[in-house]
Structure 1
C-alpha cells in the first residue's frame, strides 16, 4: 500500500515521546495497564522500561526509535488495517514499523489476549 512521501516524512520526524502518552491513555481507558503496554513495546522493539524512558526523555524521533530497536523476528506476522492502511502492504519500512506499533497498541486496547498480540503460536 502506498503512502505519500510527505506522510512518511511526517512519521519519521514525529517524536515517540509525543505519541506515547496517547498510547497509555488509549490502553488504560479500555482497562489495560501501562505494564501491558510496555510488554507489547518490548516484544516489538526489544526496549525494556529503562531504555524506553531514556528514549522518551531524549525525545527521539520515530526514525531514531526504530533505528535503535531490535525488531522482533515475528513482527511480519502483524497484519490488518490501522489508520486506513493495511500494515502488511505498507512499502516504506519505517512507516510500516510505526504502524506495527500502532496495531499492537490497538489490539491491546481492544482486549485481545496477550499471547495473540505477541504472536505466540
Structure 2
C-alpha cells in the first residue's frame, strides 16, 4: 500500500511540476516536495531490500561447511534460503528487492507520459 501511495503522490507532483506555474513559491514547493518523495521512496525501497540482502548472507557460510559436518538439516536450510528467502512482499504480489527501484522508476515515467499526453488532448478540446 505504501508503494502505491508513494507512486501516486510522485505522479501528482511530477504532473504539477510539468504544468507551468507563474509563481516562484509554488514552483519551488512542488520541486522540493517532489525530491522529498523521491528520496523517501528510494530510502524505503533500499531499506526493505536490505532484508532480502541480509537473508542471503548465511549462504556463504553454509556452502563452506566441511563435508564431515554437512547433513540433511544444512541441505534443507540451504534450499530454503536459496529458493524461498526472507523477503518483504507487497501483499505477495511483488518482492521488495533492489530491482524494485527500477520497476518503480519505469512505472512513474510511463504513467507520467500518459498523463502529459492526456493533458495535452484535454487542453486542445
User: TM-score band, normalised by the shorter chain?
Assistant: under 0.3
- TM, length-normalised to structure 1: 0.26
Structure with the greater alpha carbon radius of gyration: 2
